[in-house]
Amino acid sequence: LYGDYDPKNIFAKILSGDIPCAKVYEDARILSFMDAFPQAKGHTLVIPKVSARNLFDIRCEDLQNLIAHTQKIGRAVRSVLEPDGIRIAQFNGEAAGQTVFHIHFHIIPAWDDA
């Protein structure tokens, strides 16, 4: 939860293009891509281009933009896959289950029978 931003984290390398990803959406401030180890079909991640470890480090205005895009991309996932529900998940700190220390929102589709 605490500490400095590590510029070598996996999502920083995805943002710089050093690690490839399956892009879903990109603009000047946001990148969205498929999770490489999906918890369900369509598991998508949304990250800001600013360097922030977690929800408590990011500027409020950047967080608002990130959440607005999570809604927008979540709507696109919903219309393409038509799941019965969608989990939006976001973890802060190793103790909470965060493994990549660049803030991100998970969009995880869910189905009644899965």
Residues in 52-91 that interact with ligand 5GP by CB under 6 A: 91
**By the rule CB under 6 A, 35 interacts with ligand 5GP:** yes
Tokens read off for 57: 């480090």
5 binds ligand 5GP (CB under 6 A): no
The answer to the question of residue 37 lying near ligand 5GP (CB under 6 A) is yes
CA neighbor of 83 nearest in space, from 56, 50, 109: 109
Q: Among residues 34, 50, 30, 32, which one has the least CA distance to residue 42?
A: 34
- Residues of this chain that interact with ligand 5GP (CB under 6 A) are 10, 19, 21, 33-37, 91, 97-100
